[in-house]
A and B are shown apart, each in its own frame.
Chain A
Amino acid sequence: MTDAHEFLATDMLSAYLDGELTDTERAEVEARLAESPEWRAELDEVRGARTMLRSVAQRDAPEGFWDAVLAGVVAADDSPVDAEETAAPVVSLDGKRRGPGRWIATAFAAAAAVALAVIIVPSRDSVRPDVAAVVVQHGAQGSDHGDPIGTITPVGPLAGFRR
């Protein structure tokens, strides 16, 4: 498979697993899967990667973590500068960054960046559920399987969800 085809296959297969393809597209993908071992292997890879990502526990940083990071950075900034720096009124920026306090600050910044990456990436879509629509849908579904009067009448006053 060429690189372009690999990207296409990955995108299509990801959408296929998400159930986001049209009937035509899905039929095409299934036909390709039936005839192509490469596509089947790709599907397994995409599915495996998604499963692994989803199964990784996501946690909020423990209480005080960010305060500790911030305090570390501030402490590094406030740490005493060495004599060499004091004696030389004009120094290059690079030279100033080589001070031990700066190294500590850099280390904290790097740790914070890694922590952010662990916590935030991969980012997911923000969801605002249309609660009122689900309430109405529930009433509509219920009216087809039960008494429509008792099901639809209470849907009339959508009390908490007026916009």
Chain B
Amino acid sequence: MKPGRRLLVAAVALSALALAWPAGAFGTSSPSEQAQQLLQRTRQAAASHDFSGTATVTWRDGSTVRSAQVQVTDADGSVEARVGDDVVYDSGDHTYVKDGSRWTSIAVDPSADGEVPGVGAHWKLTTRTGPQVAGRSTTEVVATRRDGAVAQRVAVDDDTGLLLKREVLARDGTVERSMTFTALDLGATTTKVTAPDGLRAERSSTITTVPDGYVAPATLGAAVLVSRSKQPDGVLLWYSDGLFSTSVFEQRGTLDSSGLPAGGTDTVVRGTSMRQWSEPSGTVLVWERDGVVFTCVSDAPTDVIDAAVTSLSAPERSALERVADFVLGPFGWN
């Protein structure tokens, strides 16, 4: 196991122990505590079980449901997801991406991050007997919104604790995206999972306050700000509500729409025009406000994202702006 992952797993194990301690035993804890323990167990399982398998990833893009087959390998706590020649390799504190023939790398330092809120703080969690996934019996953890609408279902392998299926649902019950193992081979993997040689990971620097001109709300909807980091060309914020997370990358300047990826749709959130893409790993939104270009990525359901980005997209009119409105209003400049 890689050192970074070992530390993380140790921290998770301690957290899980702390959760279980008051109840004395898993069998006597509340349904919500059982669910939280199962979710914690998935993290430990990924670090302690080697396997290779195939997962089907689906995502809803407008009215179209798209899918891809991903080869997944877990060895010594490092995870590799491969689609053809494209590879994502994650060892905990380093993530490498191979797009065709080009590798890029990202280094993350979670030790400097703030505390992630408990999943039970905002979501109601329950467990029930889950479906058979890749021929294995599972327990399903269901997270529901306050109004009872299901937001996420995950199926956890009863034997190993590995997460075998995840579904994120819209408020109306539609599955917005999913990941389901269709085949799983436990044990020592024959596929070698290694980071590319000689590639230096770009490490961002953690900051306690964002530079002048950027914004960093303490919360986005129910999600709280967990980390801020300075990137070479902007500031990256990471929010979590314990179940879903949202990254917000801010760059000062004017959005050059011609440089955006193909596809996507135009959408408006509280009066702010945005470009939106639906991706296998989440929803992406790009917009500009007050001289800052925002790129937001979230694995949350659409309604949760809309509530979250509202605080980044709806500026209050300043006193000076109101004066400008008054002066320029008669000339039709509003």
Write the residues of chain A forming the contact surface with B, with a CB cutoff of 8 angstroms.
17-20, 47, 50, 52, 54-57, 59, 61-62, 124-129, 131-163
Contact = CB atoms under 8 A, between A and B. Distances in A.
Contacts of B82: 156
Provide the main secondary structure of the chain B interface.
strand
B42 A149 contact: yes
B211 A125 contact: no
Contacts of B87: 156
Contacts, number: 238
A108 to B, nearest CB: 15
Contacts of A128: 256, 258-260
Contacts of B254: 124-127
A60 B213 CA distance: 22
B92 interface: yes
Nearest to A20: B211
A132 B261 contact: yes
Nearest to B261: A161
15 contacts: A52-B320, A62-B331, A127-B254, A129-B295, A134-B284, A135-B284, A137-B249, A141-B227, A148-B43, A148-B92, A150-B179, A154-B177, A154-B279, A155-B280, A158-B280
B155 to A, nearest CB: 10
B212 A50 contact: yes
A150 B281 CA distance: 9
Contact of A59 (B278, B318, B334): B334
B159 to A, nearest CB: 15
Given A55-B318, A149-B42, A163-B99, A142 B277 contact: no
B8 interface: yes
A158 to B, nearest CB: 7
B35 interface: no
Contacts of B331: 62
Interface string B268-293: 00000000011111101010101101
Contacts of B245: 138, 141-142, 145-146
Interface stretch (B20-28, B64-72, B126-134, B302-310): B64-72
B247 A129 contact: no
Contact of B72 (A153, A160, A163): A153
Interface in B215-262: 226-227, 230, 235-236, 238, 240, 245, 247, 249, 251-256, 258-262
Contacts of B139: none
Contacts of A134: 236, 247, 249, 284, 295, 297
A158 B90 contact: no
Given A135-B284, A141-B238, A155-B88, A147 B46 contact: yes
Interface in B1-36: 8
Contacts of B47: 148
